Amino acid sequence: MQPDARAALAAIYAEVALVIDEHEPRCEVSGRCCRFDEVDHELWSTALEIAYAREVSGDVPEAKPGLCPWHVEGLCTLRDGRPLGCRTFFCDPRWKDLGPEVHELFHQRIGRLHEAHGVTYDYGRFVDRVRDGAQKVEP
């Protein structure tokens, strides 16, 4: 991953954190956001996000189908590298309306980041993409 693209994505994630901090949605630490098949939830991400996650983690742990590979013993082990969908997903009912708006705003910015760095915009199921190697980003 290009260092400038990595830095730009990290900056977007930092802005997302500021918005989250401002609104304080509650995280129940239930793990529902990581057990995709069990809770009928899908996490999608872009090519740059997948590359970023792999770069931060250094490796993709083995996982059961339908479960994020970084969901270990009920906790996320990819906190710093997790994609936008993880950063904006909360079970808090107060976040139900604002969450999708926040997600879409930053998702559009991440899409433009792909274009700015000459990376093909590619959006797909996070777990599948991480496992199948589609995360390789070579602009």
Q: What gap in Å lies between CA 76 and CA 68, rounded to an integer?
A: 9
CB 63 within 8 A of CB 71: yes
The rounded average pLDDT for each run of 10 residues, N- to C-terminus, in the chain (139 residues) is 94 97 86 70 89 88 78 85 91 88 96 94 86 53
Residue 47 CB burial class (10 angstroms; 0-12, 13-18, ≥19)? buried
Whole-number pLDDT of residue 133? 61
In sequence order, what are the beta bridge partners of 35? 67
Domain ranges of the chain: 3-132
Q: How many CA atoms lie within 13 Å of 44's alpha carbon, on the beta-carbon side?
A: 9
CB 9 within 8 A of CB 48: yes
Whole-number pLDDT of residue 134? 46
